[in-house]
Structure 1
């Protein structure tokens, strides 16, 4: 499954959770919005932190959503690989495997940002 398909699939399933647990989902949405908004740290830096934690915790859904956000924020591949290096440092060999997945997600979401001819 591609990261575009994965994030779409997760989003679809989260709609079911929102229907059954609206208070929980609204609380999580509010937490996410507040945690990622500009403050002393800019949103891009916060997304880098979230991606690194997602890689270290081996969460493909986290990789998909945070990489997608980083592409929208104009992240370069060089920036991404530096962040992934820190994630691998903190998570060891298994995180290296998920860092490779984040590279795949980056290329996929970057391609979606390219204008079509």
Structure 2
């Protein structure tokens, strides 16, 4: 099984290296990320669950790792994440089924840290 803790750590390293070469690009993306995920009409938890669902549908391991962990940090329960995975599967079909089950593995990996 993939280790999403390792994927997250590897992505932090890769992003740090990329930032040295293109700080404006990564800084711009991070500003967009902060603006998009802040509390508003939708809670940050709901936004993280939405991002996790899209990450599953897009089959993005780094995105799954980041948004599974962030969903938990924002207070999502394992049950809420299971329902989020269900929506991703409904929207993305077979590939989302594979990545949805891997996202649940990521959630369980992060929950085991606590």
Fold shared per TM-score above 0.5: yes
Runs of 4 or more above 4 Å deviation: none
1:108 counterpart SS class: helix
1:40 counterpart SS class: coil
Would you say 1:31 and 2:32 are equivalent positions?
yes
Counterpart position of 1:12: 13
Q: Deviations over 1:57-97 (max 9, x none)?
A: 11111100000101112221110110100000000011000
Counterpart position of 1:48: 49
Q: Matched residues in 1 for 2:78 and 2:33: separation?
A: 25
RMSD of aligned Cα (Å): 0.7
Q: Matched residues in 2 for 1:82 and 1:59: separation?
A: 19
TM-score (ref. length: structure 2): 0.96
1:17 counterpart SS class: helix
TM-score (ref. length: structure 1): 0.94
Q: Matched residues in 1 for 2:31 and 2:113: separation?
A: 28
